[in-house]
Amino acid sequence: MAARLRASLPSGHLFPSASTDSPSDGPFAGFSGKPLGASNICRSPLKMEGTRNARLRILGSIERKPTFKTEASEEPVGLNRQLTEYEKQRLEGKDCGLDLFEELKFRFRRFKKRNYMENLVHYRNLSQQQTPKFMVIACADSRVCPSDVLGFQPGEAFTVRNVANLVPPFQHGASETSAALEFAVNSLEVPNILVIGHSRCGGIQALMRMKEGSDSRSFIKDWVSIGKNARLSTEAAAGSLSFDMQCRHCEKESINGSLLNLLTYPWIEKRVSEGALSLHGGYYDFVNCTFEKWTLVYREGLEGGSKYDINDRSLWS
């Protein structure tokens, strides 16, 4: 199926000129933030029993005492004082003398005070179920967290991250990405899958440096070889450009390759053909802080076989 779809797309059609929209016009504007329920995957009843009982006691106290939210958010005076002093030193560029985990502890306590305690009802709903509107497949690169870039809040996006944000084809067998896809599509029934690539991707650079027929026991090379077709396409279309420009082309080409690979999963193809699932690509340029977004439009039974097209392309800057 993917081969037929790829062959049906005219050369150079993958990246039409983008129209410029303001960020507020994107598909993430006006998000309702509906509660995202928590799954019970890999949750041990024995280990979680104490936590579950404690949660029930807390939630029960919220029901009996409507003012709990305000009191809870104002009670940790010592925490407020510590956070204020700590943040003041950070703003002044002072070394607070903290090790890495002390830094994380302060961040957690700040999250608890400013997010969790101020939104107890929302987090209570999240403890019961999740209904995300997106599944996001993003790169593991530490510079491109999708929750930071696109502002996803708890409950909005079921996310899997891997090297070079690749989607292996269905025939590739089991992987953490295919398992996440199965859960997101068949159990959570997400209406959108968004594959996000980014500039200066080390995984794509490794892919572009691979030699044909090279034998390697590297996990990285074995994994990024999933994007081989994107590399070959890039070499054909942009082989005369600099290595950096070839990598940039391949970063985007590999996103479309992953979108095609999504259609090799029978249950994804079925939901797409029924109009219940939409496939989107995104490219985050963290050097210039821009974001490109496009949608893969898939139609079956058109003249010449199954075809797809790129639609709804925009540039957010």
Return the higher-pLDDT residue of 250 and 82.
Answer: 250
Is 141 annotated as ligand-binding?
yes
The lowest-confidence range among 48-62, 68-82, 177-191, 201-215 is: 48-62
pTM of the full structure: 0.71
Q: Tell me if 126 sits within 8 A of 157, measured CB to CB.
A: no
Pick 33 or 232 by higher pLDDT. Answer: 232
Amino acid letter for position 236: A
Q: 145 labelled as ligand-binding?
A: no
Higher-confidence residue: 301 or 202? 202
Residue range 182-192: mean pLDDT, rounded: 98
pLDDT at 4 over 60: no
Kindly report which listed range (44-48, 206-210, 216-220, 231-235) carries the lowest average pLDDT score. Answer: 44-48
Give the DSSP H or E segment for 203: helix 202-209
Q: Where are the alpha helices (DSSP H) in 17-164?
A: 45-64, 68-74, 77-91, 100-111, 120-126, 146-150
Please indicate if the annotation marks 139 as binding a ligand: yes
Per-residue pLDDT of 240-292, as tens digits, reads: 999 999 999 999 999 999 999 999 999 999 999 999 999 999 999 999 999 99
**What confidence score (pLDDT) does residue 144 get?**
98
Query: Fold for domain 2-10+131-316?
Result: Beta-carbonic Anhydrase; Chain A (3.40.1050)
Which tokens go with 216?
Answer: 């390697």
- Whether 280 has a binding-site annotation, put simply, is no
Average pLDDT, the chain: 79
Domain residue spans in the chain? 2-10+131-316, 45-126
Per the DSSP assignment, residues forming a β-bridge with 106 are none
